[in-house]
Amino acid sequence: MNSSIRFLELTGMNWLIPLVNLMAGRNPKAQITELFKVIGVPIAAFAIFLLLWSVAAKSIVTSLGNLPGPTQTWAQFESLVEEHRASREKEAAFYQRQKYRNEKRIAKGKEPKKIRAYTGAPTFFDQIFTSLYTVFFGFFIATAIAIPIGIICGLNTTIYTGLNPLIQIFRPVSPLAWLPIVTMVVSAVYTTDDPLVPKSFITSALTVTLCSLWPTLINTTVGVSSIDRDFINVCRVLQLNWINKIFKVVLPASLPMIFTGLRLSLGVGWMVLIAAEMLAQNPGLGKFVWDEFQNGSSNSLGRILVAVFVIGCIGFLLDRIMLTLQKSVSHDKTQDIR
């Protein structure tokens, strides 16, 4: 039972702990009260939100009709699921036809033709997958840049003094400003006729990188510079080389601040990506929202609201993933990480 509780704490699902304790018969009255606080109150708050949304939607009239309420938005989600299923069936049939034709050619002693790739329009769920691997790619690049520079700045005040003005200048720059610059640079540099990855992917990922590296860089710098000087003195006494000093002392001592920066960076990167996809018309959830807005059909508002909820839920899950990772590598297992 203790292992189950530990697993829930590690994965950030603390709200299930009272249920586990209740099933084990540990102080049922107290566990029911706690269960109501952690589950009942959020459910009640969400139900009130849905009620207010439903009432407000009836009084908001747009050029496309009334603002969709919860029921109409859910119907559009089901429609998107059905469209995705139909697209997958169409894709499977497309490849099956080519396979059948090649089998007939082989039976006649002819060479089979090359299998052509399916070129159907991406579905809503395809766009979700595109946005996810784009944001993770940009986030990993940002992390690979920000953490080493942050460690150097935290250990060397001279370097920090030199880089700090640049950090403070570029940190608040909007993705709206970075996007055209990145687009032009990628178009000028990435000129191959047969690109391994699309230019749109590189453009979106680099925009995410440029906007999301700053929280990690700043928090890493603060975390490293705040390390107890006794730890650094111990490194000198033990005559640890630079690599051992970084990996055995500096990184473990500054992990909480580094992960705070990583969580902020991933959240910023996700927001930036959606904006970049909308503006540059790159594949992803942002392009889906913009296309529906431009489409102007009676279903567009409902589909946009579906995308809004999906974007928010994915952002929440990304933060939970980082929180779980932080708990798994944290040296202080008793620390309350939220």
pLDDT digits (tens, 9 = 90+) for 233-284: 777 777 777 787 777 778 888 888 898 899 999 999 999 999 888 888 888 8
Q: Are 5 and 26 in contact (CB under 8 A)?
A: no
Instruction: Identify the DSSP state of 112.
Output: P
Q: What's the N-to-C CA distance of the chain in angstroms?
A: 23
∠ CA 226-264-45, nearest 5°, is 125
Kindly report whether the global pTM for this prediction surpasses the value 0.85: no
pLDDT digits (tens, 9 = 90+) for 19-65: 555 555 565 666 566 666 767 778 889 899 999 999 888 888 877 77
What average pLDDT does the structure give for the chain?
A: 83
pLDDT at 34: 64
Tell me whether residue 221 is exposed, middle or buried, using C-beta atoms within 10 angstroms of its C-beta: 0 to 12, 13 to 18, 19 or more: buried
Query: What span, in angstroms and rounded, lies between the C-alpha atoms of 232 and 244?
Result: 12
